[in-house]
Amino acid sequence: MSHPTPSKRSAITGLQKMTPSEAFVETLVANDVTDIFGIMGSAFMDALDIFEPAGIKLISVVHEQGAAHMADGYAGVISV
């Protein structure tokens, strides 16, 4: 019986101990998120380190409202 090759992007299954940032990133991966918009800052720094290995690209912005507008436009373009 052959086992499927695990993909680079896979959410953790089963009961695991993880940090809140790891849980956040795993939730994004489980929902097929590949790009996010946000402000780089100290509350976000530990999650930033695990975005790239999870295949998530952070698009850095300087204003939260701008991030929301950019994400809205981006979602409209990629869903066409």
pLDDT in tens, 39-71: 888 777 888 889 999 999 999 999 999 999 999
Please count the structural domains in the chain. 1
Instruction: Report which residue type is found at 80.
Output: V
pLDDT, residue 78, reads: 84
Q: What is the pLDDT of residue 69?
A: 94
Spatial distance between the Cα atoms of 35 and 52, rounded to a whole number of angstroms: 10
Burial class (CB in 10 A: 0-12, 13-18, 19+), 47: buried
Which domain covers residue 60, as residue numbers? 20-78
pLDDT of the residue at 68: 93
Domain-located, residue 43? yes
**What digits encode the pLDDT tens for the residues 4-17?**
445 566 666 677 78
The model carries a pTM of 0.71
